[in-house]
Structure formats: C-alpha cells, structure tokens
Amino acid sequence: MSDDRDRRMKWWRQARFGMFVHWGLYAQLGRHEWVMNRERIPIKEYEKLADTWKPKERPAREWAKLAKQAGMKYMVMTTKHHEGFCLWDTEQTDYNAAKHGPGRDLVREYVEACREFGLKIGFYYSLMDWHHPDGAKCAKDEDARKRFIEFTDGCVRELCSNYGKIDILWYDVSWPLSSPELWESARRNAMVRELQPDIIINNRSQLPEDFGTPEEHVTAEGKGRDWEACMTFNGSWGYMPSAIDWRSVREVIGMLRTAAGGQGNLLLNIGPAPDGSVPEEAYERLIPVGKWLEKNGEPVYGKVDRADGMEWVPTGQWTRKGNTAYFWCNRWPGNELAIGGLKMKVQEASFVATGEGIEFDQTENRLVMKNLPEESPDDIAGVTIIKLECESEPRQVLGAGYVVL
C-alpha cells in the first residue's frame, strides 16, 4: 500500500504548486460560492441561474495557460459545488451544463485544456448537495440515503470513466452523513481506484486517503503525511468582485516557501467570472510569481526535505533539499548578511537566480556573507534565494539566551 502510494504520489510530491478553480452558477451572483445557503435563496429561484449562464468559448484554455505561466503543475476544478449544478454532461441529473445555459460539457473543455498545456488534472467534487432532493433528507431517511449514494456513485463513476486519465479526486464537504460507513466511502474510493489506478484522493470523504487539506492556512501535517494547503486568493473561492483584499506576489511566494519547507503543496484558487475570464488581479500576481519561479524554482520543485531543523532569523526563512539549505531572504539587509547558530559546515554559497558565488566567513556560531549588493538582487518580489551547500544535514540551533563564549 505505501509502495503504491509512493508510486502514485511521485509527481505530486515534486509539483508543489497547483491552481484551484471554483466556477459554477454562483459566479453570476458574484457573492461567494456559499451565496445560495448564506442568503437562503430558494431553490426555484437559484435554478434560474442554470439557464442564464452563458460562458464564453473555452475559458479553461485561459486558466490553463495562466497556470502554466505561473509555474503551476496541476489544476483542480469544481465539477459540482455545493449548489449541486454539474458542470459535465451527466446522466445522473438534468441539472447540468450540457442541458442548460452553457449547452456543453465544461468539464471536458477543462480536461482538454489541462492536457493541451501539460498540466495534471484534478476534479473537485462536493459530496454535500443543496439541490438534490435527497441531499439533506439522506441523513434521516434510509431510502433517501440509498438513492443519494447511488447518485453520488453515478457522478463519481462518470467522472472517473468518461475523461481518460484523471490525476486527483478532490472531495469536499461530507455533510450531512456522519460517518464514512454511511457515505460508503471505502467502497466508492475502491471503485475510483479500479477505474483510475494512479489517482490521488484527498481526505474529505471522511477517510484519510492520500493527503490532508489544510484550508486557508499553510500548515504542515505530521511527518510522513502528505498535505496540500488550499488557499483563496481574495477570501472567496467563487468569483466575488467586491472581495478586494488580494494576496500579494510576496505572500504567494511566502506560501510556497512554507509549503516546500514542510514537504507540502500549495493549491491556490482563482474564481473566474461568469463568462469564464480570469480576474485581472489574479493575472497581475500570477504572472510575476511565474517569472520569479523561472529563476528561483530550484528549491520549490522536485524532492524536498522538511526544514524542521532550522530556526527563524529576521531576514528570511529556510527550505531544504538533502544537505543543501536554501535561505529565502525576503528582507534584504544590505551588503552583509549574517546568520547565527548553523551547526553544519557550509562549503559553497551562491544565488539561485544567477548561480553567482557568494563570499563568506564561517565561524563556530556565525555565517557572514560579504560583498553583497546594497539592494535585494531580486527585482520581481524582493525575495532572493541563497543556496548553501553543506557538508552534512543543515541544522541550526539558536536558544533565546545569548551567550558568547
């Protein structure tokens, strides 16, 4: 089992950075994907959005192109969010994109776009369903539960059968059934794996499966557990033009640092407009992130190790690959950069972006890098990566007390 997981997770553990896409009827209202529930919009009224939804041609190509430019390696799109509207041509319900406004299978377009741009393909699927007549009733009525399970099986089977190879199944909210037994998750996930032997499944069907999903915070899970932090860009997953507090380029890079430092991934969301276009604010940030990654991708992609043995210093933070420590300097100190408490011998120091070597002195408790530029050499985000190749595994010890012997 764990060998099989290592095989399936190999690409994912090296990919680090993916794009989440929340797109559905709610985009037309532009007030978060929970708008139906939070504003108690009656189903009959909400349903009208199915016919008024007229996305432009193939917007998924724009998302995939942007994801590629941003240095992302995979995508995860909402095939059905809590609202219950299916973005694919399904036989399980008429409440789907092919039979209403869009008049076509939006999941297929998405899959084709991912393939065109060489991105791995993830399907988000909300178990909770506010539209299905048994979606709530299933908790109290066994017949309803059976019907709802059959519906859920049918949807998941179609998604895993009709689109070729799918790389990730990303379940969400398992309300209202209170156990994986009631959801029949183990059986369903076994079916998924039969249809898609390489697929990676998240932990939101009430079973741990392959990876944990910290949400809106980038926090490593316990050692040995794979994890992916999912983050909004502006506080809303669905399109919401009034949500104007967009995370900055530096914040995105900082999240990538925390992800890499804890051997995890970052799944950063965009909520396309009703027509499918990507909000301008996302472009303004993701393009520079991609440019930065082009120069500084080395500590981000590929096999990383946990940087647990390292401490905080005022000028930046760490990630690690084997005996190489990467110092992410996001507060440039000027022409000298000192780091205390390193317990390993540094053999070489250099800038990742240019490969240029850095002069340094190392004494027992102090590494001092010298003759550096006055300003941060990174003109994209002010985050400069310094690579320290060391004789042994990087370790840093800095107690609170200050003792110079």
Residues at the interface with ligand GLC (CB under 6 A) = 22, 33-34, 172-173, 215, 230, 237
Question: Judged by CB, which is closer to ligand GLC: 95, or 130?
Answer: 130
Beta-carbon contacts of residue 28 (< 8 Å; ≥ 6 apart): 49, 52, 53, 274
Identity of the amino acid at 1: M
171: closest CA among 232, 213, 215, 124? 124
Question: Rounded to the nearest whole angstrom, what is the least distance from the CB of residue 269 to ligand GLC in the complex?
Answer: 8
Phi, psi torsion values for 191, nearest 5 degrees:
-60, -45
Question: Judged by CB, which is closer to ligand GLC: 37, or 162?
Answer: 37
Distance in angstroms between the alpha carbons of the first and the last residue of the chain: 52
Question: Judged by CB, which is closer to ligand GLC: 105, or 228?
Answer: 228
Question: Judged by CB, which is closer to ligand GLC: 96, or 203?
Answer: 203
CA 240, 172, 106: angle at the middle one, nearest 5? 60
The residue length of the chain stands at: 405
Provide the pairing of β-strand 316-321 with 324-329: antiparallel
Question: Rounded to the nearest whole angstrom, what is the least distance from the CB of residue 80 to ligand GLC in the complex?
Answer: 11
Question: Judged by CB, which is closer to ligand GLC: 185, or 376?
Answer: 185
Helical H runs in 140-248? 142-161, 180-183, 185-195
Question: Rounded to the nearest whole angstrom, what is the least distance from the CB of residue 270 to ligand GLC in the complex?
Answer: 13
Question: Rounded to the nearest whole angstrom, what is the least distance from the CB of residue 171 to ligand GLC in the complex?
Answer: 10
Question: Rounded to the nearest whole angstrom, what is the least distance from the CB of residue 306 to ligand GLC in the complex?
Answer: 24
Question: Judged by CB, which is closer to ligand GLC: 17, or 328?
Answer: 17
30: closest CA among 271, 376, 382? 271
Question: Rounded to the nearest whole angstrom, what is the least distance from the CB of residue 137 to ligand GLC in the complex?
Answer: 20
